[in-house]
C-alpha cells in the first residue's frame, strides 16, 4: 500500500506491530515445515509466487502518499498454499520491495499487515465459508473463492488502510473519499479478474497446486 513512517502515529505503529507479530507467529507455527522441505513442488510454488508478487507490487499508481493502487494477488496464493504459507510468501515478496527501495523498512510490519495478512485471512475465511456450504459445482469455488474472494479481500485491506490514515489525522474523510474510496470498487474488479482467472487456469490444468481445493466434492 506504500505506507511511510510519517503517515501513522506512534501508537498506531506499535499496535500494528504487535498484531503483525502475533499473526506471523501463529502462521509460522501452523506451517508443517518438515513436509515443506520434503515437497519440491510446494517449494517451487512458494518461491515462484513470492517472486511474482514482488514484481507485481512494483506496478502501482496513486495520487497521495499511502494511497497507492495496485493488484494484490494474495487470494490466489492463499488458495494455492493455505493462509499460513501465503502470509510467509507475501512477506517475502514485501521484503523484495523493501530491498529495492519501494517500501520503507520501518513500515514493514504495517504494510505486511495491510497488504499481506488481511487479504490472506479474508480470502481464507471466504474459502472456509464456501467449503461449509458444501457446494457441488466447481464453479462455486472459482467464483466465491477466486473472483468474489479477491474483491472482498482488497476492499477489506483498503478499508483498514483508510481507517488508519483517517484516525491518525493524516487525511480527512473527504480526501480519502475523493482520492481512494471512490476508486475502491474499480480496484475490486481487476483484483477479482486477475485472481479468478489464475484460479480457473490452475483448477483446469493443475488442480493439485490448489491446496485448499477438495476435488472430491465436485465429482
Query: In the prediction, which pLDDT does 135 show?
Result: 87
Q: In this structure, is the dihedral angle defined by the CA atoms of residues 186, 190, 191 and 192, taken in order, positive or negative?
A: positive
Residue 69, pLDDT above cutoff 90: no
Does residue 118 contact residue 17 with C-beta atoms inside 8 Å?
no
Q: Which residue has the cell 511474482?
A: 52
Query: In the prediction, which pLDDT does 5 show?
Result: 62
If you average pLDDT over every residue of the chain, what do you get?
88
Share of the chain above pLDDT 70, in %: 92
Q: What dotted CATH number matches 10-218? A: 1.10.1760.20
- For 150-197, write each residue's pLDDT tens digit: 999 999 998 998 888 888 877 788 888 887 788 888 889 999 999 999
- For 31-52, write each residue's pLDDT tens digit: 999 999 999 999 999 999 999 9
Query: In the prediction, which pLDDT does 157 show?
Result: 92
DSSP assignments along 57-115, one per residue: TT--B-SSTT--B----HHHHHHHH-HHHHHHHHHHHHHHHHHTTSS-GGGHHHHHIII
pTM listed for this prediction: 0.92
DSSP assignments along 164-214, one per residue: HHHHTTSS-HHHHHHHTGGGHHHHHHHHHHHHHHHHHHHHHH-GGG-TT--
Helix (H) / strand (E) element for 138: namely helix 138-140
Amino acid at each position: 500500500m506504500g505506507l511511510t513512517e510519517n503517515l501513522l502515529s506512534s501508537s498506531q505503529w506499535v499496535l500494528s506491530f504487535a498484531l503483525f507479530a502475533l499473526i506471523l507467529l501463529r502462521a509460522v507455527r501452523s506451517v508443517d515445515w518438515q513436509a515443506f522441505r520434503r515437497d519440491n513442488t510446494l517449494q517451487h510454488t512458494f518461491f515462484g509466487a513470492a517472486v511474482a508478487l514482488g514484481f507485481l507490487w512494483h506496478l502501482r499508481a496513486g495520487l497521495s502518499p499511502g494511497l497507492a493502487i495496485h493488484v494484490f494477488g494474495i487470494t490466489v496464493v492463499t488458495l494455492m498454499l493455505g493462509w499460513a504459507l501465503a502470509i510467509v510468501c507475501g512477506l517475502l515478496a514485501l521484503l523484495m520491495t523493501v530491498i529495492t527501495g519501494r517500501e520503507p523498512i520501518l513500515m514493514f510490519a504495517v504494510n505486511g499487515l495491510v497488504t499481506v495478512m488481511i487479504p490472506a485471512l479474508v480470502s481464507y475465511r471466504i474459502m472456509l465459508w464456501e467449503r461449509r456450504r458444501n457446494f457441488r459445482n466447481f464453479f462455486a469455488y472459482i467464483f466465491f473463492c477466486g473472483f468474489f474472494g479477491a474483491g472482498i479481500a482488497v476492499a477489506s485491506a483498503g478499508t483498514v488502510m483508510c481507517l488508519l490514515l483517517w484516525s491518525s489525522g493524516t487525511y480527512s474523510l473527504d480526501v480519502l473519499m475523493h482520492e481512494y474510496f471512490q476508486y475502491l470498487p474499480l480496484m475490486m474488479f481487476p483484483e477479482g479478474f486477475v485472481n479468478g482467472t489464475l484460479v480457473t487456469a490452475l483448477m483446469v490444468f493443475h488442480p493439485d497446486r490448489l491446496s485448499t481445493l477438495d476435488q472430491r466434492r465436485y465429482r
